[in-house]
Amino acid sequence: MENQSPKLSLFTLLVTSMLIHGCGSIQPQGQSSTMGPGWELLNKRIIEAENVSMRERDVPRTGIQTNVGEGQVSNLSDILPIQLAPGVEAKAYWGEGNLLSFISMAPNAVMPRETIIGERFLFVMEGQVKELANGEYMTMVGEKREPPNGVSARMPRREFIYLVDGDESHITAGPQGAEILLLYAPVPRAYLEQAGLGHQYEEVDLQALPLPPNVDSGVVYDLYDFQYTVLVPGANARFVNGRGMQMSWLRMNPNIEFGYHTHPEQQLMIAQRGWLDQYILAHTVRVNEGDILNFPYQMTHGALLGTYGTDALDVFFPPRTDYYAAMERTISAYHEIIPEDTKVQLVVDGSVSGPGLNFTEGPAWHNGKLYFSNLWFDPAFNGDASRGAVVEMDPNGSYRYISTGMQTNGIIPAANGNLIVADMFGHRVIEMTTAGEVVATLADSYDESYIDGPNDLVMDTRGGIYFSDPQFTPSANKNQPGRTVYYRNPQGEVIRLLPYDDFAMPNGIILSPDGRTLYINNTYDKESWWNVTSDKENYVWAYDVNQDGTISNGRAFAELKLTGDVLNREARTSGADGMAIDTEGNLYVASYAGVQIFNAEGNFKGIVNLPTVPVNVTFGGADNKTLYITAYDKIYRIKTNKTGYQLY
Distance in angstroms (rounded) separating the CA atoms of residues 506 and 115: 55
Average pLDDT over residues 77-105: 95
Tell me the angle at which helices 10-22 and 39-50 cross, rounded to the nearest 10 degrees: 180
b/e map of 320-346 (b: 16 or more CB within 10 Å)?
beebbebbeebbebbbbbbeeeeebee
Does position 2 have pLDDT exceeding 90, yes or no? no
pLDDT of residue 36: 53
Kindly report the three-state secondary structure assignment for every residue of 274-322.
EEEEEEECCEEEEECCCEEEEECCCCCEEEEEEEEEEEEEEEEECCCHH
Distance in angstroms (rounded) separating the CA atoms of residues 459 and 357: 27
Does position 571 have pLDDT exceeding 90, yes or no? yes
Does position 31 have pLDDT exceeding 80, yes or no? no
Phi, psi for residue 18 in degrees, rounded to 5: -65, -40
Q: 606 forms bridges with which residues in the sheet?
A: 597
Residue among 20, 24, 68 nearest 46 (CA)? 20
pLDDT digits (tens, 9 = 90+) for 228-239: 999 999 999 999
The strand pair at 301-317 and 257-261 is best described as antiparallel
Distance in angstroms (rounded) separating the CA atoms of residues 412 and 371: 9
In Å, what is the CA distance from 109 to each residue of 129, 291, 404? 9, 27, 51
pLDDT of residue 189: 83
Residue type, 117: I
CB-based contacts of 529, cutoff 8 Å, min separation 6? none
Under 8 Å between Cβ of 360 and 342: no
Phi-psi region of 471 (alpha: psi -120 to 50; beta: other; left: phi over 0): left
Does position 349 have pLDDT exceeding 50, yes or no? yes
pTM of structure:
0.94
Average pLDDT over residues 465-479: 96
The helix/strand count (H/E) of the chain reads as 5, 45
> DSSP string of 161-181?
EEEETT-EE-EEEEEEEEEEE
pLDDT band at 9 (very low <50, low <70, confident <90, very high): very low
Q: 193 forms bridges with which residues in the sheet?
A: none
pLDDT of residue 191: 78
pLDDT of residue 184: 98
Distance in angstroms (rounded) separating the CA atoms of residues 386 and 520: 29
pLDDT of residue 238: 98
Residue among 155, 105, 157 nearest 131 (CA)? 105
C-beta atoms surrounding 603 within 10 Å: 12
Determine the Cα angle at 527 with ends 523 and 532, to 5°: 75
Does position 62 have pLDDT exceeding 70, yes or no? yes
> DSSP string of 372-426?
EEEE-B-TT--B-GGG-EEEEE-TTS-EEEEEES--EEEEEE-TTS-EEEEETTT
Under 8 Å between Cβ of 327 and 319: no
Average pLDDT over residues 131-141: 95
Does position 10 have pLDDT exceeding 50, yes or no? no
Does position 22 have pLDDT exceeding 90, yes or no? no
pLDDT digits (tens, 9 = 90+) for 493-509: 999 999 999 999 999 99
pLDDT band at 37 (very low <50, low <70, confident <90, very high): low
CB-based contacts of 462, cutoff 8 Å, min separation 6? 489, 490, 549
Does position 24 have pLDDT exceeding 50, yes or no? no
Distance in angstroms (rounded) separating the CA atoms of residues 540 and 60: 46
Residue among 422, 362, 378, 374 nearest 402 (CA)? 374
Residue among 323, 221, 192 nearest 267 (CA)? 323
**Mean pLDDT of all residues in the chain?**
93
Q: Quick one: what percent of the chain has pLDDT higher than 70?
A: 94
Distance in angstroms (rounded) separating the CA atoms of residues 583 and 625: 10
Under 8 Å between Cβ of 588 and 597: yes
Residue 77: DSSP 8-state? G
pLDDT of residue 193: 79
The helix (H) or strand (E) run that includes residue 240 is strand 235-241
pLDDT digits (tens, 9 = 90+) for 251-306: 999 999 999 999 999 999 999 999 999 999 999 999 999 999 999 999 999 999 99
Under 8 Å between Cβ of 390 and 373: yes
Distance in angstroms (rounded) separating the CA atoms of residues 484 and 159: 42
Residue type, 571: A
199 CB burial (10 A radius; 0-12, 13-18, 19+): exposed
Average pLDDT over residues 526-531: 95
pLDDT digits (tens, 9 = 90+) for 159-215: 999 999 999 999 999 999 999 999 999 999 887 877 777 667 888 999 999 999 999
Distance in angstroms (rounded) separating the CA atoms of residues 88 and 330: 38
